[in-house]
Amino acid sequence: MEPTLDTTTAAAAGAAANMPEDMRVSIVNAPGENSYPIAGYTYLLVYKDQKDKDKGTELVKFLWWAIHDGEKFAKDLLYAPLPDNVVKLAEAKIKQINYKGEPLYK
């Protein structure tokens, strides 16, 4: 199997089925016929409870942009786009980011 952006995305999609709550998962030897066996994620560590409402709001906007509109730049920058099932999991995490209990995603 060739190491391509598509086979890397396939590995991420295959591993997402068993992704735990904290989204930490290895995608090495991920299931799936088209999954490249040597791949990995880049993670962002973000506080769920933000201490500054304005900064937290901007962070949420950026994260949402990154997993949606920003994805169109991934392949040109030689990053494998996130598979749809991982985007859905990331959306749920972004929607949990809050300031004093108030969700910052609008």
pLDDT in tens, 49-103: 999 999 999 999 999 999 999 999 999 999 999 999 999 999 999 999 999 999 9
Q: Looking at residues 32-39, what average pLDDT do you find? A: 93
Closest CA to 92 of 67, 55, 58: 67
Closest CA to 14 of 33, 42, 38: 33
Burial 57-94 (b: 16+ CB within 10 A, else e): bebbeebbebbeeeeeeeeeeeebbbbeebeebbeebb
In this prediction, residue 1 carries a pLDDT of: 82
In this prediction, residue 63 carries a pLDDT of: 98
In this prediction, residue 103 carries a pLDDT of: 98
In this prediction, residue 42 carries a pLDDT of: 87
**Cα Rg for the chain, rounded, in angstroms?**
15
Q: What is the C-alpha separation between 23 and 17, in angstroms, rounded?
A: 11
Q: Which amino acid is at 17?
A: A
In this prediction, residue 17 carries a pLDDT of: 84
Q: Looking at residues 21-48, what average pLDDT do you find? A: 92
Q: Which two tokens stand for residue 17?
A: 């089925």
